[in-house]
């Protein structure tokens, strides 16, 4: 049975380190600030932003939530972002996606100052990552790397396979693995004989967005499996298939009418050497790394060494 890589514990370690850095900056009269922009009415986005703001408060980071209406235009959003770029008390700008359909998302993300781009989406920061220069990196991929490193998983010289080629997870985590001296293969929806490639992986990163797609026969025995997927399942038969024998999960589904499953089938834990759970794996690291990026941005903007 695989070792469970506890993302909640690792996220707590990172948050504690961030809180210490915030206190150190306070002695220099520097107070990191994060602005969260939430446009329109999206209940899930509201929950995410609320959680981020709450975490800021816990760690001593100043936070500000801006909520333009659902009718906001691209021009109005650009003006708002421009104002945040100019503010000295704001070190990080988080634009919560999705934006309302009439807003040009690419233009908005491009308008965020690279120095304040705590999501790591700006092309300049993407370029810094690919050329191994200091910059702000995407939070979820950075969290994946922290799980591997803090769990003592050897990366250098290992064969890593990444399922998914998104700009948010797949591509950046592949680049981070390359920078850590892994040999990396990126797979996607048009990859031929996917299982033949996944079975070669010492480290498998699943970020393809399909529930339980990665099955036990696709895994090299003893491999480390990082499950980035978060999929809500409401089909009783599917839940029984995924969690056969897991009484606690089945009881939870019976009570709530839904449950979460990653991109990796739970039975993979019987083959893998180490695996992240869903929930409680990669998810908690995303917010922790957002906090770390905000403090990093505060230091970089003032010419201070990055810790």
Catalytic residues: 52, 96, 119
Hey, how many other C-beta atoms are within 10 angstroms of the C-beta on 92? Answer: 30
* Helix (H) / strand (E) containing 123: helix 123-130
Interior angle at CA 301, CA 295 and CA 307, nearest 5:
45
10 Å CB burial of residue 231 (0-12, 13-18, 19+) is middle
- To which residue do tokens 């980071």 refer? 61
Residue 42 to residues 70, 79, 232, 275, 303: CA-CA distances in angstroms? 9, 22, 17, 32, 37
Show Cβ contacts of residue 301 under 8 Å, excluding neighbours closer than 6 positions.
91, 115, 116
Hey, how many other C-beta atoms are within 10 angstroms of the C-beta on 58? Answer: 12
Residue 148 to residues 18, 205, 267, 272, 285: CA-CA distances in angstroms? 19, 11, 21, 14, 12
For the chain, report the end-to-end CA distance as a whole number of angstroms.
36
DSSP state of 125: H
As given in the structure block, the two tokens for residue 125 are 């920061």
DSSP state of 184: E
């Amino acid at each position: 049975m695989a070792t469970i890589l506890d993302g909640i514990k690792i996220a707590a370690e990172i948050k504690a380190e961030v809180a210490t850095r915030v206190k150190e900056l306070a002695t220099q009269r520097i107070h990191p600030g994060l602005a969260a922009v939430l446009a329109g009415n999206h209940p899930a986005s509201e929950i995410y932003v609320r959680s981020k703001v709450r975490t800021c408060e816990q760690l001593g980071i100043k936070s500000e939530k801006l909520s333009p209406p659902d009718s906001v235009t691209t021009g109005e959003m650009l003006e708002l972002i421009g104002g945040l770029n100019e503010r000295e008390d704001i070190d990080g700008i988080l634009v919560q996606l999705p934006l309302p359909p009439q807003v040009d998302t690419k233009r908005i993300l491009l308008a965020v100052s690279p120095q304040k781009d705590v999501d790591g989406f700006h092309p300049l920061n993407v370029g810094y990552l690919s050329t191994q220069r200091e910059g702000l990196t995407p939070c979820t991929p950075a969290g994946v790397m922290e799980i591997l490193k803090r769990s003592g998983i050897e990366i250098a010289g290992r064969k890593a396979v990444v399922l998914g080629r998104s700009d948010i997870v797949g591509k950046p985590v592949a680049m981070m693995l390359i920078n850590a001296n892994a040999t990396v293969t990126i797979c996607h929806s048009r990859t031929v004989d996917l299982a033949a490639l996944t079975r070669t992986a010492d480290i498998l990163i699943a970020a393809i967005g399909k529930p339980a797609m990665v099955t036990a026969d696709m895994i090299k025995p003893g491999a480390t499996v990082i499950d980035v997927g978060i999929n809500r399942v409401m089909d009783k038969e599917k839940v029984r298939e995924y969690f056969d024998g897991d009484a606690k999960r089945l009881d939870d589904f019976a009570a709530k009418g839904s449950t979460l499953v990653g991109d990796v089938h739970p039975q993979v834990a019987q083959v893998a050497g180490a695996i992240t759970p869903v929930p409680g794996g990669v998810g908690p690291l995303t917010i922790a790394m957002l906090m770390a990026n905000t403090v990093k941005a505060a230091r970089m903007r003032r010419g201070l060494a990055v810790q």
